[in-house]
Amino acid sequence: MSEPTAREAVLGRIRDAHRLAPPPDLPYEAIARDYRRERSGTTEELVELLVDRLVDYKARVRRSTPAELAGTIAAALADQGVRTVAVPPGVEPGWFEQTDVEVRRDRPDEGAGLTVDELDGLDGVVTACALAVAETGTIVLDASPDQGRRLLTLVPDYHLCVVRADQVVPDVPQALALLDPVRPTTMISGPSATSDIELNRVEGVHGPRTLEVVVVS
């Protein structure tokens, strides 16, 4: 008889373990899920909670109307001193109508993707998001065209993310229900931080050290 492969061996060991110590019978459908899954709130309540939680985790927040968005973005970039930004392919050009920063669009489909070194030389990145979670102050990116490849929001030191009020969901269960698991997904809650020194949270390590969120309603 040939030697079993590692795969056969490990699966065989699990079956042996189950025979030596039969596991309890608990079908998936019987798992108790008595936690809250349908929290709700008005859009304004959710936006207020999101803003509160974002600020608590040291993200900067600006509120805007759709009509004022280009102006709000221009003001944010100017206040941060940003001169060059990376932008994913699907972001509307109108967002940059009122600013004179250099907009570098990432177009990997056309063989014109920004390289890591190019991104490292840019001051910031501006994206939309897939959704935002009010209770945890989280914005979620799923690499859709208006959010782009994951490295765009990672290498530049400043990330400006535009969240529409209708993209804000109350909690984590409702966020996951809307997401597509196979898309590369990044959940972001505040700027890069660490708790590694004396277990105190300090902002600013390897990811963008400044996260700015514009909530549009």
Partner 1 sequence: MSAVMLGMPTLPPPAPRGVGHLRGDESFPDAARHSLADTQLRANLGHATRTIRAKRASVVAELPDWEELREAGRQLKVHTMAHLPDYLEQLEAAVTARGGIVHWARDAAEANRIVTELVQAKGVDEVVKVKSMATQEIGLNEALEAAGISAWETDLAELIVQLGHDKPSHILVPAIHRNRSEIRQIFLDEMGDVDPDLTDEPSVLAGAARLHLRRKFLSAEVAISGANYAIAETGTIGVVESEGNGRMCLTLPQTLITVMGIEKLVPRYTDLEVFLQLLPRSSTGERMNPYTSMWTGITPDDGPQEFHLVLLDNGRTQVLADEEGRDALNCIRCSACLNVCPVYERAGGHAYGSVYPGPIGAILSPLLTGVEDNASLPFASSLCGACYDACPVKINIPEILVHLRARHTEEYAEEHTVPSVEAVAMSTLSFVMRDPRRWRLALRSGRLGRILGRRRGAIGEIPLPVVKQWTETRDLARPPQQTFRDWWAATHDGDRS
Q: Which of residues 16-45 bind partner 1 (CB under 8 A)?
A: 16-21, 23-28, 31-37
Cα(212)–Cα(76) distance, rounded to whole angstroms? 8
CA 202 vs. chain centroid, Å, equals 19
Site for partner 1 (CB under 8 A): how many residues? 80
- Whether the Cβ atoms of residue 145 and residue 194 lie closer than 8 Å to each other: no
- Whether the Cβ atoms of residue 162 and residue 68 lie closer than 8 Å to each other: no
Q: Which of 80, 104, 193, 217 binds partner 1 (CB under 8 A)?
A: 193
State the nearest-atom distance from the C-beta of 216 to partner 1, in Å: 22
Among the listed ranges 67-75, 95-103, 108-116, 124-132, the one in contact with partner 1 (CB under 8 A) is: 108-116
Among the listed ranges 4-12, 68-76, 94-102, 122-130, the one in contact with partner 1 (CB under 8 A) is: 4-12
Within residues 39-78, the interface with partner 1 by CB under 8 A covers: 53, 57
Work out whether 112 is an interface residue with partner 1 (CB under 8 A). no
Coil vs helix vs strand at 60: strand
Cα(64)–Cα(70) distance, rounded to whole angstroms? 9
Nearer to partner 1, 62 or 190 (CB): 190
State the nearest-atom distance from the C-beta of 24 to partner 1, in Å: 6
Q: Which of 149, 164, 165, 217 binds partner 1 (CB under 8 A)?
A: 149
Cα(110)–Cα(108) distance, rounded to whole angstroms? 5
State the nearest-atom distance from the C-beta of 157 to partner 1, in Å: 9
DSSP result, 97-139:
TT--SEEEE-BGGGTBPPPHHHHHTSSEEEE--SEEETTTTEE
Q: Which of 122, 146, 208, 212 binds partner 1 (CB under 8 A)?
A: 208
